[in-house]
């Protein structure tokens, strides 16, 4: 069914108009209202879809909408406006009329797809379809239309700068500090606002984690063209957060962050991550060490502007308080779950599932394979072979073996296995797949996993992006490589 271009009836506009006008003059409160209204609109849309598939109880959708609306209303207290706002159920009823006005009384699959479309260009912004529709409705209301013009006039001007690594390294050297120069400038601009500094860590943290993930998983030479695709993905994600008019991040913070050279910052972080991956430390410490370097840079910048206490608050909010001690020893296999959740794509309808309660048969590995070369060394001398048999397959270990799968390798705890057996182990997703079978010492971080297609709810409404793999230089054990640099010889 094609859009009807029908303006919703007056009753459908009533709550939208009354709430937006009641909050007029309070920019961030109006944004919070529109964010809650848009959430309930999508909630009602997914509820209608769920009702046609019997995939989720009606009460769960209503409860989710009620929770979001209560959070918005509570944020207004002690504002007197809160007492005259409608209930979440009233907003949900209005939302259904809103949906029907645009696509008719019977919603089909193509209608759901149309409403849930993303990256819709609207006045220079890239928005979700539902957000565009809400803004269009507001532009039919005289007073609200003026406010929308203010939103558009004050939107951040995103500056997409080239990511020159040499410039970033030069700026760091000139400052004589172990800092990230764009982070340093942002802290200088927002130093007296502790909440703003928390938002800054929120925005930089996923970039740090992305750099650590790339350096972890990629395994050839660092070429400019090989990481372009991944840099573009980081820039696109950052730009979307900065330009989102319904963002929870205050406008002044987004305006400042719009000036950050994301390409350069990501390449600098990737440069630091590759250096850490190539040093003598175990690769399983990489995430810890990169975040430690990031936090140390935060402290140096904060010290220059006397806002260390505010930075510590930001670290606590993001679960990074373990880095208060800048000399703390690294934790093997550590990663920042707060930012991991941001980077993971969401499955519509899976919010209430506790994945820990599901058996591992429900999952499959996600992302690039783990490489044995990053966590073990080849054994070529009998004196180094600590055991005669591989404890995974129980077959004998032979230092003269030329088939890659049968080559003996030794992990950090000194236990030995076949190359192929260890590959299978660390790429598993069962409990202890990342641990030594003999002593349970961690060999590497756990392999990422995702629900199998059979168990994904609403997959057609929220398709997952394809996993990509980028190439970044990490050390290889020469004993596992042939003269061309490829991993061991031939398979028999």
d(CA 275, CA 172): 16
**Residue 461 near residue 49, CB atoms below 8 Å:** yes
What does pTM read for this prediction? 0.58
**Residue 315 near residue 302, CB atoms below 8 Å:** no
Which residue bears the tokens 């309070």?
A: 26
Tokens of 11: 């009753």
d(CA 284, CA 332): 5
Which residue bears the tokens 């404890």?
A: 391
d(CA 76, CA 23): 10
Look up residue 360 and give its DSSP letter: G
Q: How does DSSP assign 416-468, residue by residue?
A: EEEHHHHHHHHT--STTTTB-TTT--B-SPPPPEEE-GGG-TTTTTSPPPPP-
Q: How does DSSP assign 380-410, residue by residue?
A: -STTT---SB-TTT-PBP-TT--BGGG-EEE
> pLDDT digit of tens for each residue in the chain (492 aa)?
344 443 444 344 467 777 887 777 787 888 888 888 888 888 888 888 777 665 566 777 788 888 888 887 777 765 666 777 788 888 888 888 888 888 888 888 888 888 888 878 888 777 888 888 888 888 888 778 888 888 888 888 887 777 778 888 888 888 776 778 888 888 888 876 777 888 888 888 888 888 887 777 654 344 444 566 677 777 887 888 888 888 888 888 888 888 888 888 888 888 888 888 777 566 677 888 888 888 888 888 888 888 888 888 888 887 787 887 777 777 766 767 666 655 544 443 344 444 454 555 667 787 677 888 888 888 888 888 888 899 899 999 998 888 889 999 998 888 999 999 999 999 888 777 888 988 888 888 887 777 665 444 323 333 333 333 333 333 444 444 444 444 443 343
Residue 226 CB partners (closer than 8 Å, separation 6+): 220, 470, 471, 472
Q: Which of 333, 330, 423, 332 is nearest to 373 (CA)?
A: 423
CA distances from 367 to 24, 213, 217, 449, 487 (A): 47, 10, 9, 8, 20
Domain limits of the chain? Answer: 10-153, 165-343, 355-492
d(CA 388, CA 417): 10
d(CA 84, CA 75): 14
Does an H or E element contain 487, and which? none
Q: Which of these CATH numbers, 3.30.40.10, 1.10.1660.10, 3.90.480.20, 3.30.360.10, describes 355-492?
A: 3.30.40.10
**Residue 424 near residue 433, CB atoms below 8 Å:** no
Q: Which of 382, 387, 353 is nearest to 458 (CA)?
A: 353
């Amino acid at each position: 069914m094609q859009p009807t271009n029908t303006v919703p009836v007056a009753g459908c506009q009533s709550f939208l108009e009354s709430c937006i006008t009641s909050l007029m003059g309070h920019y961030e409160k109006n944004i919070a209202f529109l964010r809650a209204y848009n959430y309930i609109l999508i909630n009602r849309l997914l509820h209608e879809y769920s009702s046609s598939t019997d995939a989720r109880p009606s009460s769960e959708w209503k409860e989710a909408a009620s929770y979001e609306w209560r959070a918005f209303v509570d944020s207004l207290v002690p504002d007197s406006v809160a007492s005259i706002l409608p209930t979440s159920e009233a907003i949900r009823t209005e939302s259904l009329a809103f949906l029907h006005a645009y696509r008719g009384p019977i919603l089909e699959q193509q209608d759901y797809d149309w409403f849930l479309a993303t990256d819709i260009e609207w006045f220079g912004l890239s928005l979700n379809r539902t957000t565009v529709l809400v803004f269009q409705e507001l532009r039919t209301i005289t007073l609200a239309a003026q406010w929308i013009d203010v939103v558009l006039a004050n939107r951040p001007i995103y500056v997409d700068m080239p990511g020159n690594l040499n410039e970033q390294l030069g700026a760091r050297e000139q400052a004589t500090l172990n800092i990230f120069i764009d982070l340093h400038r942002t802290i200088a601009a927002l130093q007296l606002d502790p909440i703003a500094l928390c938002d800054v860590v929120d925005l930089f943290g996923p970039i740090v984690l992305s750099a650590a993930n790339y350096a972890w998983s990629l395994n050839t030479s660092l070429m400019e063209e090989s990481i372009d695709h991944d840099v573009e993905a980081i820039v696109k994600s950052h730009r979307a957060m900065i330009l989102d008019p319904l963002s929870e991040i205050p406008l002044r913070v987004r305006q400042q962050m719009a000036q950050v050279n994301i390409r350069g910052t990501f390449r600098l972080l990737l440069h630091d991550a590759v250096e850490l991956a190539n040093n003598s430390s175990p690769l399983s410490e990489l995430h810890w060490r990169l975040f430690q370097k990031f936090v140390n840079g935060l402290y140096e910048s904060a010290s220059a502007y006397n806002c260390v206490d505010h930075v510590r608050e930001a670290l606590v909010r993001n679960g990074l308080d373990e880095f208060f001690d800048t000399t703390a020893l690294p934790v093997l296999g550590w990663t920042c779950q707060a930012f991991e959740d941001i980077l993971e794509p969401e499955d519509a309808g899976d919010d209430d599932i506790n994945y820990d309660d599901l058996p591992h048969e429900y999952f499959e590995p996600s992302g690039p394979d783990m490489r044995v070369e990053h966590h073990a060394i080849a054994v070529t001398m009998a004196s180094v072979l600590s055991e005669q048999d591989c404890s995974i397959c129980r077959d004998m270990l032979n230092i003269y073996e030329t088939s890659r799968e049968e080559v003996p390798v030794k992990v950090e705890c000194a236990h030995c296995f076949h190359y192929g057996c260890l590959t299978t182990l660390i790429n598993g997703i069962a409990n202890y797949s990342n641990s030594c079978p003999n002593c349970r010492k961690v060999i590497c971080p756990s392999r990422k996993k995702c629900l199998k297609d059979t168990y994904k709810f609403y997959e057609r409404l929220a398709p997952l992006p394809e996993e990509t793999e980028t190439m970044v230089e990490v050390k290889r054990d020469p004993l596992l490589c042939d003269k061309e640099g490829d991993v061991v010889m031939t398979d028999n």
